[in-house]
């Protein structure tokens, strides 16, 4: 899960910065397409580039870490459910830092506290699937709830941050 967070943070600082530098972000804001929809598409592309390869590589990495084969599916499912939340929360931080010239470190400082609940419940679900005594369903349900909440609120918050930052 720490690897998923670091992989997500790696490309977030340039999520909106390149668009702001060449002026296409202003065009996106003036386009008839709603800005939250554009942000959701950019966050989905970010997840496809960073989260999905990690989900696909999780079984092989689990073999290296001696994860039992019966728990491997749960690890993949928890990563698939939690990494979209990391990308969408990161999109909010990237939108807040887009107006700053050197906002990469500030963006990481803004995003890390917001991702802690996703990490806690992702690790709890993964640990319960691998070693046991806690049930898998409870932390996984909360993880899915956090992802769904970030799918709904993340693009709206990022659009508001972009509008505020570029005014």
- Position 103 scores a pLDDT of 66
Average pLDDT, the chain: 87
pLDDT digits (tens, 9 = 90+) for 119-154: 999 988 888 888 877 788 889 999 999 999 999 999
- Position 155 scores a pLDDT of 94
Compute CA 41 distance to the chain's CA centroid, rounded to the nearest angstrom. 13
Q: Radius of gyration (Cα) for the chain, nearest Å?
A: 17
Report d(CA 75, CA 67) in Å as an integer: 9
- Position 43 scores a pLDDT of 92
CB 11 within 8 A of CB 49: yes
**Cut 0.85: pTM above it:** yes
Kindly state the average pLDDT of the residues 25-37: 88
How many C-beta neighbours within 10 Å does residue 147 have?
Answer: 24
């Amino acid at each position: 899960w720490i690897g998923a967070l670091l992989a997500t943070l790696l490309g977030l600082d340039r999520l909106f910065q390149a668009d702001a530098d060449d002026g296409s972000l202003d065009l996106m804001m003036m386009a008839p397409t709603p800005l939250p929809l554009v942000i959701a598409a950019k966050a989905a592309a970010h997840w496809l580039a960073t989260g999905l390869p990690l989900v696909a590589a999780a079984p092989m990495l689990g073999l290296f870490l001696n994860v039992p084969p019966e728990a491997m599916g749960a690890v993949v499912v928890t990563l698939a459910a939690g990494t979209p939340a990391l990308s969408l929360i990161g999109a909010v931080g990237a939108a807040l830092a887009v107006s700053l010239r050197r906002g990469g470190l500030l963006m990481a400082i803004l995003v890390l506290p917001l991702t802690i609940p996703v990490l806690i419940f992702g690790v709890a679900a993964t640990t319960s699937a691998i070693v046991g005594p806690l049930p898998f369903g409870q932390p996984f349900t909360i993880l899915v709830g956090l992802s769904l909440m970030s799918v709904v609120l993340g693009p709206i918050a990022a659009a508001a941050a972009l509008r505020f930052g570029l005014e």
